[in-house]
A and B are shown apart, each in its own frame.
Chain A
Amino acid sequence: MGGTLNMIGLGLAAIGPAIGVGLIFAAYVTGVARQPEAQGRLQSIAIFGFVLAEQFFIISLALAFVLKP
């Protein structure tokens, strides 16, 4: 077995954004179910929120490989 502890930290860091992304798309699905004609507007908002939540994981992904153990 090899590897660094960074990868475990990366896995832990994925939890928060995963919950955030789940909440965002749950709200998006509920919104579209209630008001299907608003889908176009909701979609770009949902994607934008998804991107913002995701970027924290992206930063930790970069750091996991950059930081030396």
Chain B
Amino acid sequence: MSSIATSIGTVVRTEEFTSPGPADFDLPGILGSAVTKPMVLVVLSAVIAFVLFYAMSRKAAVVPGRLQFAGEYVYGFVRNTIARDTIGSHDYARFVPFLFAMFLFVLINNFYGIIPVIQFPSMSHIGYTTALALITWLVYNAVGIAKHGFLGYLKHQTVPAGISGPLLLALVPLEFFSNIIVRPFTLALRLFATMFAGHLLVILFSLGGEFLLLHYEPRILGIGSGLISFILAIGVSFLDMLIMFLQAYVFTLLSAMYIGGAIADEH
């Protein structure tokens, strides 16, 4: 008798909810197995950035039109609040193109996460963020070495000012570890993990809402909580938008800070 009851019980629960995980980010290839969706999206983002800003700057006028105003606003944001304030007004100008390109690229790739149809932040794959962090690492080390010389740069990054004696034995390896080795890892991990977590949250609330709406017994409870789950998914999407912008800003800000620290004068 009890076995019949349990078999009926399993029949009623037609489908077990499987929570989304990292496997949901492994998309199948489109054009064979070599080209995947994030690859296409990353190339597309470069095209979007180029076309958008080419259109904005093509008819540059003294009195800007709407498109040119928007472009200048974004450019001014990167140039003034990120580059000039952190690198310093003396030699920020040569890094503005690098920082601007970095900001736009990361921003567009992040915002893929909320554009319907696309809906996949390509920065939630760690390979792309690693490449970007490596570029930043190369740039700030290269400009530092160019300015101070190799040994001078090592001394600049690892020996804290105003400290002498045996304390240096402990501090120099620590500073080297923190300033040269860990920086690219945290830079890459931060962008990757926030995009990954944000997208995972949206997936979780949408899939959970769908399961509750369609498959959960009793139906009244399922439909009520499913609707709440969908509303939460919308709320989480808005939070995600904020984080997408903030992470692009933070990535550029940290790049600027590392560059500024590498070329700072001894004091």
Interface positions of A (Cβ within 8 A of B): 2-3, 40-41, 44, 47-48, 51, 54-55, 58-59, 61-62, 65
Contact = CB atoms under 8 A, between A and B. Distances in A.
A9 to B, nearest CB: 15
Interface of B is mostly: helix
Given A40-B85, A55-B190, A58-B193, 12 more contacts: A3-B19, A44-B86, A44-B253, A47-B253, A48-B257, A51-B253, A54-B190, A55-B186, A59-B186, A61-B197, A62-B189, A65-B21
A48 to B, nearest CB: 7
Given A2-B19, A3-B19, A47-B250, A62 B86 contact: no
B166 interface: no
11 contacts: A40-B85, A41-B85, A51-B250, A51-B254, A58-B193, A59-B189, A62-B189, A62-B192, A62-B193, A65-B21, A65-B22
A58 B250 contact: no
Contacts of B18: 2
B123 to A, nearest CB: 13
Nearest to B247: A51
B225 interface: no
Contacts of A47: 249-250, 253
Nearest to A51: B250
A40 B189 CA distance: 27
Interface of B: 18-19, 21-22, 81, 85-86, 186, 189-190, 192-194, 196-197, 249-250, 253-254, 257
Contacts of A54: 190
Nearest to B185: A59
Contacts of A40: 81, 85
Nearest to A52: B186
A68 to B, nearest CB: 12
B177 to A, nearest CB: 15
B7 to A, nearest CB: 21
Nearest to B18: A2
B253 A48 contact: yes
Contacts of A62: 189, 192-193
B190 A51 contact: yes
B48 to A, nearest CB: 26
> Across chains A and B, which 7 residue pairs bring their CB atoms closest together, nearest first?
A58-B193, A61-B193, A58-B190, A55-B186, A51-B250, A62-B193, A65-B22
Contacts of B197: 61
Contacts of A44: 81, 85-86, 253
Contacts of B22: 65
A34 to B, nearest CB: 21
A39 to B, nearest CB: 11
A55 B191 CA distance: 10
B214 to A, nearest CB: 20
